[in-house]
Copies of this chain bind each other. A is one copy, B any other.
Amino acid sequence: MDLGIRGRWAILLGSSRGLGRACADSVAREGVNVVVNGRTAADVERAAAEIASMFGVETRAVVGDSTTTDVQDALLAACESPDIVLLNGEGPSPVRFGQLDSSQWDRAVQQGIVGPLSFVQRVLPGMIERRFGRIVAISSAMVKSPNSMMSLSHGTRLGLTGVLKGLSKDVAKHNVTINQLLPERFDTARQEQMAQVAMKMKGISYEQARAEQIASIKAGRLGQAHELGDTFAFVCSAQASYLSGQSIQLDGGSYEGVF
């Protein structure tokens, strides 16, 4: 399928590894030039080099926390007029409800709401003017089925969900779409880390921790990052212009709710 986005430019926050990297690969395969971002210089530079080499597109590497003004400046210096923006970043660690404190919230809100939205504020006027924009956030399936241990995560991600949904209604008429992907249990470093947490908290083996992760998924397996990457690419396509304001779950069919 020709996605109609060859030659476009994407700024992909948090794209040096895992799900974000898979998104970068998927759009680069379709001929999109990409700005790769992440916190670890070696990862970011390797990703940018690999993507350029594998897919023959232009790539640029911007290292640092994308929720800061400096890094946002650098991202926009690397690509002044992005057509596609991926909002992605590390999620907060699990915390028991009783132990949540104000400084944890401040950090989670900065990472999950304020930082991403300030970047959206900077790229949106240009997308509207050029009459093409695709903004996609990688959120979490938990926004639709919250679990108290992850309050920092869904507490901020739901806020972002609402703001992006409200905003999507305003910009649809300019051919700017805003959507979210809601992954659950992909085979990335995040699930490795969650398995380590489970091993400690429950006193179980690594194999048991991984088996429990899989048992929670109706598909009977973890997701593969490229599956999310290709969904991202489709949502960014020219022909996905009429699809906006959606939160698409990628969870192996696990969500219980009818909508």
Contact surface of A with B, Cβ cutoff 8 Å: 1, 3, 26, 29-30, 97-98, 100, 102, 105-106, 109, 113-114, 117-118, 121, 124-125, 143-148, 150-151, 154-163, 165-170, 172-173, 175, 177-178, 218-220, 223-224, 226-228, 230-231, 233-234, 237, 239-259
In the complex with contacts A227-B241, A248-B248, A250-B243, A121-B148 CB distance below 8 A: no
- Determine if B243 and A173 form an interchain contact, defined as CB atoms under 8 angstroms apart: no
Name the prevailing secondary structure of the A interface residues.
helix
Measured between beta carbons, the chain B residues less than 8 angstroms from A148 are 163, 166-167, 169-170
- Determine if B244 and A144 form an interchain contact, defined as CB atoms under 8 angstroms apart: no
- Determine if A173 and B242 form an interchain contact, defined as CB atoms under 8 angstroms apart: no
Measured between beta carbons, the chain B residues less than 8 angstroms from A256 are 145, 169, 256-257
- Determine if A113 and B155 form an interchain contact, defined as CB atoms under 8 angstroms apart: yes
Measured between beta carbons, the chain B residues less than 8 angstroms from A114 are 102, 105-106
- Determine if A173 and B218 form an interchain contact, defined as CB atoms under 8 angstroms apart: yes
How far apart are the CA atoms of A249 and B155 in the complex, in Å?
20
A97-B170, A169-B253 given; 16 more Cβ-contact pairs under 8 Å? A97-B166, A102-B114, A105-B114, A106-B106, A146-B166, A148-B170, A151-B162, A157-B162, A159-B159, A172-B219, A172-B254, A173-B218, A173-B219, A219-B242, A227-B241, A231-B240
- Determine if A158 and B258 form an interchain contact, defined as CB atoms under 8 angstroms apart: yes
Interface centre among A160, A167, A169, A228 (most CB of B within 10 A): A169
